[in-house]
Amino acid sequence: MKQTKLLIIGGGPAGYVAALRAAQLGAKPLVVEAAELGGVCLNRGCIPTKALIESAGLYRTITGAARQHGLNVGGVAIDLETMVKRKEAVSRTLRDALGVLLPSRGIEIISGRARFTGPREVAIEPVGPAGGLPTGGPEERVAFDQAVICTGSSPWHPPIPGLDLPGVIGSDEALALTEIPASLAVIGGGAVGCEFATIYAALGSRVTVIEMLPNLIPTEDAELGQALRYYLEAQGVTVITGARVELVERLDPATDVEAGKGAALRIRLATADGLRTVEVQRVLAAIGRRPSTAGLDLQAAGLAVGRRGEIPVDAGLRTGVPGIFAAGDVTGGILLAHVAFEQGIVAVENALGRKAQFSQGIVPRCIYTDPEVAAVGMTEAAALEEGYEVAVGRFPFANSGRALAMGKPEGLVKVVAEKASGQLLGVHIIGPHASELIAEAALALHHGSSIDDFARVIHAHPTLTEAVKEAVLDARGEAIHK
């Protein structure tokens, strides 16, 4: 039987970062991965979607905004095959780099599916390349001193009739389409759904986004959701909120007005105004995700999952079984790769005898639509619910010299602060490069900065970051350029 002091199950964001941190601390961890290194984020999530978003955004710029810059570009056509190949190459480059980096740090990698056979032992079933079918080879038993479970999450679909029909796809399939659908309905107006709406609307699909709650991106500040709806609709996207999907059904082929291009599926919706239908060529289910624990045989280790299928952990990422930790999406918290990075570090540091804690109070949240959305800290509604008397500041990018020069005046920065003390509580951005701008706000919240602290920081001109400072100043009625 193989022995290891530190076993890491899963080579995604939590797992590979945990392994690299462990190597920095002098350990030689063993990583078991059933598919590709990098997990969903690198191979089927964060990275490939952003690659496609860049391609789609470039096409939109060339065919639209370029004219405003005096650039008349003719003969532009979409080569979806090349676009997809580029996306795959970006992921492959990063995945191959991990395949070199981890072994160079003394980290052993086994391709296989791990399942617990006891509180200090797993059996590993070998699999083929890139998480293919089991090879049929013998299982390998591994005994461990400490283990970190980092098996991530998988798509979750509610029991809606028809979601298993041909033409209904998930995010994995949406990343690998061989042709652009003439019409696409996206069920789910969260981050994933809105990002794919952005991609395919830019590439020419007639896109409809369907969200059950009153606003798009419903976990974010309501103003951002309302603004995003405005900008998506300006790009030709139809947005339906407050609608529950009751059924997806296949249309009679005779209704196809053009072979391969006409509507193939009908979605039946229940809205406040009654029943409504949407007919499209394809449906993308982007409804949610759930922790991936299937096949781990957690009960053999003495572990039980929580109500949502998550592995419960404390602030040190310890499970209920001594010596077993969990990190990343499998813990059921905020399902973001950068959260998984930090949790992997905290878990492995504790597994190796250090004392570390994870706090999810200040986590930047980014959505890569056009324009981008980013936020950190409390929404205005959440602050009011917690009893704060708030001061709110706003600054539109239409008043930003840099945004206007870039030809990207859409959006605004919104700041929520405690009225009496001026302490920053949350910053919310929709606009150009919001995902980069939010880092300054996260740092300010991390250090407990107040409006006065922020106001004293000189921001370079002309930059987009000036809009953040102006919004902070506006929270006390002192914005200069508004």
Alpha carbon 410 to chain centroid, angstroms: 22
* 220 and 239 share one domain: yes
**Residue positions counted in the chain:** 482
What integer pLDDT is reported at residue 127 of this predicted model?
A: 87
In a domain, 78, yes or no: no
* 247 and 271 share one domain: yes
* 97 and 6 share one domain: yes
What integer pLDDT is reported at residue 262 of this predicted model?
A: 67
| Helix axes 46-63 and 191-202, enclosed angle (nearest 10) | 40
What integer pLDDT is reported at residue 136 of this predicted model?
A: 67
The 3-state secondary structure of the chain reads CEEEEEEEECCCHHHHHHHHHHHHCCCCCEEEECCCCCHHHHHHCHHHHHHHHHHHHHHHHHHCHHHHHCCCCCCCCCCHHHHHHHHHHHHHHHHHHHHHHHHHCCCEEEEEEEEEEECCEEEEEEECHHHCCECCCCCEEEEEEEEEECCCEEECCCCCCCCCCCCEECHHHHCCCCCCCCEEEEECCCHHHHHHHHHHHHCCCEEEEEECCCCCCCCCCHHHHHHHHHHHHHCCCEEEECCEEEEEEECCHHHCCCCCCCCCEEEEEEECCEEEEEEECEEEECCCEEECCCCCCHHHHCCCCCCCCCCCCCCCCECCCCCEEECHHHHCCCCCHHHHHHHHHHHHHHHCCCCCCCCCCCCCEEECCCCEEEEEECCHHHHHHCCCCEEEEEEEHHHCHHHHHHCCCCCEEEEEEECCCCEEEEEEEEECCHHHHHHHHHHHHHCCCEHHHHHCCCCCCCCCHHHHHHHHHHCCCCCCCC
**Listed residues 351, 381, 401: the one ending a domain:** 351
What integer pLDDT is reported at residue 305 of this predicted model?
A: 93
* 303 and 252 share one domain: no
* 386 and 314 share one domain: no
Q: Backbone phi, then psi, for 257, in 5-degree steps? A: -80, -20
How many distinct structural domains can be found in the chain?
3
* 6 and 117 share one domain: yes
* 347 and 332 share one domain: yes
Active site residue 459: no
In a domain, 66, yes or no: no
In a domain, 357, yes or no: no
Rounded distance between C-alpha atoms, residue 42 and residue 109, angstroms: 17
Output the average pLDDT for the chain. 94
pTM above 0.85, yes or no: yes
Rounded distance between C-alpha atoms, residue 417 and residue 428, angstroms: 12
* Residues 129, 130, 131: CA angle, nearest 5 degrees: 95
- Is-contact 178 76, C-beta < 8 A? no
* 42 and 175 share one domain: no
- Is-contact 198 284, C-beta < 8 A? no
What integer pLDDT is reported at residue 259 of this predicted model?
A: 41
Q: Which domain holds residue 217?
A: 168-285
Assign residue 240 the CATH number of its domain.
3.50.50.60
**Which segments in the chain show pLDDT lower than 50?**
254, 256-260
| Tens-digit pLDDT profile for residues 136-158 | 678 899 999 999 999 999 988 88
Name the nearest CA neighbour of 370 among 193, 209, 195, 216.
Answer: 195
In a domain, 227, yes or no: yes
In a domain, 482, yes or no: no
- Is-contact 430 224, C-beta < 8 A? yes
* 148 and 293 share one domain: yes
Structure tokens at 413: 């920065």
What integer pLDDT is reported at residue 80 of this predicted model?
A: 94
Assign residue 406 the CATH number of its domain.
3.30.390.30
* 194 and 237 share one domain: yes
What integer pLDDT is reported at residue 1 of this predicted model?
A: 86
Rounded distance between C-alpha atoms, residue 195 and residue 47, angstroms: 12
In a domain, 59, yes or no: no
Given the DSSP bridges, would you call strands 390-396 and 372-377 parallel, antiparallel or unpaired?
unpaired
**Active-site choice (69, 433, 447, 461):** 461
* 180 and 196 share one domain: yes
Q: In this structure, which long-range contacts are made by residues 308-313, counting pairs with CB atoms below 8 Å and at least 24 apart in sequence?
A: 308/332, 311/149
* 23 and 112 share one domain: yes
In a domain, 274, yes or no: yes
In a domain, 159, yes or no: no
